[in-house]
């Protein structure tokens, strides 16, 4: 499992994949990332100690992910991240959080004490696909409600049930309402290979190839394009 990487192109930064406590929801049909979570807090701490020690602050921008929400890092690891941000003079911190944690987001930003961008996995603004197919359990009135809370979202493309018009609408909403975005092409995994729509993915690659040049939208053509994780191997770092 690759847990540290450096992104040198768009939005250059260091990125670290930590272990966290179990995801508060853990029922999304497309997600096997939660297999990296654990209730073993000592294991969580060992991974944090090893991987955070690799961070240099070279770009003054750091992203921490943990196969769940930033709130699911243990309190000691959250404090460890906060101290690292200040020690290395990080000017922008990026993390992920699930919709049910939205009320404490202001407190989350205040806790870390540096400009903090919270990524939200909306996946799609089509309510049926988001909740009926992907089982995200995310209800909101519209993109304006989401944009009032965060300027950064993730979208998922290539899921059965999506249409080209749905994808066009999602990309339009992203570009009109949000400053930053990450578009993930769905990669089949151990739990949801049958969800993939290969034709829609191929269409998107051609139709939206120009997103590669967009300064604040990143496209993950494969889910390991940020250099962390592994799509082919199980988690290999076991407790000692």
DSSP string, 44-70: HHHHHHHHHTT---TTSEEEEE-SS-G
pLDDT for the residue numbered 234? 35
pLDDT per position in the chain (240 positions), as tens? Answer: 899 999 998 999 999 999 999 999 989 988 888 889 999 999 999 999 999 999 999 999 999 999 899 999 999 999 999 999 999 999 999 999 999 999 999 999 999 999 999 999 999 999 999 999 999 999 999 999 999 999 999 999 999 999 999 999 999 999 999 999 999 999 887 777 789 999 999 999 999 999 999 999 999 998 889 999 873 433 333 333
In angstroms, the CA 222 to CA 7 distance is: 15
CATH of domain 4-220: 3.20.20.70
pLDDT for the residue numbered 237? 37
The SS3 assignment for 74 reads coil
DSSP string, 184-232: EEP---TTTGGGB-HHHHHHHHHHTGGGGG-TTEEEESSTTTTS-B-SS
pLDDT for the residue numbered 128? 96
Domain boundaries, the chain: 4-220
In angstroms, the CA 13 to CA 5 distance is: 9
Radius of gyration of the chain measured on its C-alpha atoms: 17
- Residue whose C-alpha is closest to residue 33's, from 186, 196, 168, 229: 229
Q: Positive or negative CA dihedral for 195, 183, 69, 143?
A: negative
**What are the E-state strand segments in 77-211?**
92-96, 116-123, 152-157, 180-185
């Amino acid at each position: 499992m690759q847990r540290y990487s450096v992104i040198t192109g768009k939005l250059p930064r260091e990125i670290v994949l930590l272990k966290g406590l179990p995801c508060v929801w853990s029922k999304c049909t497309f997600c096997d990332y939660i297999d990296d979570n654990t209730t073993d807090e000592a294991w969580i701490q060992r991974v944090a100690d090893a991987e955070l020690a690799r961070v240099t602050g070279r770009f003054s921008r750091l992203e921490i992910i943990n196969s769940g929400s930033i709130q699911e890092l243990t309190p000691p690891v959250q404090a460890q991240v906060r101290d690292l941000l200040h020690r290395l003079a990080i000017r922008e911190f990026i993390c992920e959080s699930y919709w049910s944690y939205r009320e404490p987001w202001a407190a989350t930003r205040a806790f870390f004490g540096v400009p903090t961008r919270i990524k939200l996995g909306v996946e799609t603004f089509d309510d049926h696909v988001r909740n009926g197919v992907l089982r995200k359990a995310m209800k909101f009135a519209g993109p304006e409600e989401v944009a009032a809370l965060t300027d950064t979202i993730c979208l998922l493309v290539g899921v059965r049930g999506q249409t080209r018009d749905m994808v066009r609408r999602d990309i339009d909403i992203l570009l009109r309402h949000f400053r930053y975005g990450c578009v993930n092409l769905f990669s089949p995994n151990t739990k949801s290979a049958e969800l993939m729509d290969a034709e829609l993915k191929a269409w998107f690659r051609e139709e939206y190839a120009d997103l590669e040049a967009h300064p604040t939208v990143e496209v993950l053509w494969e889910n390991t394009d940020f250099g962390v994780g592994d799509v082919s191997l199980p988690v290999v770092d076991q407790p000692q």
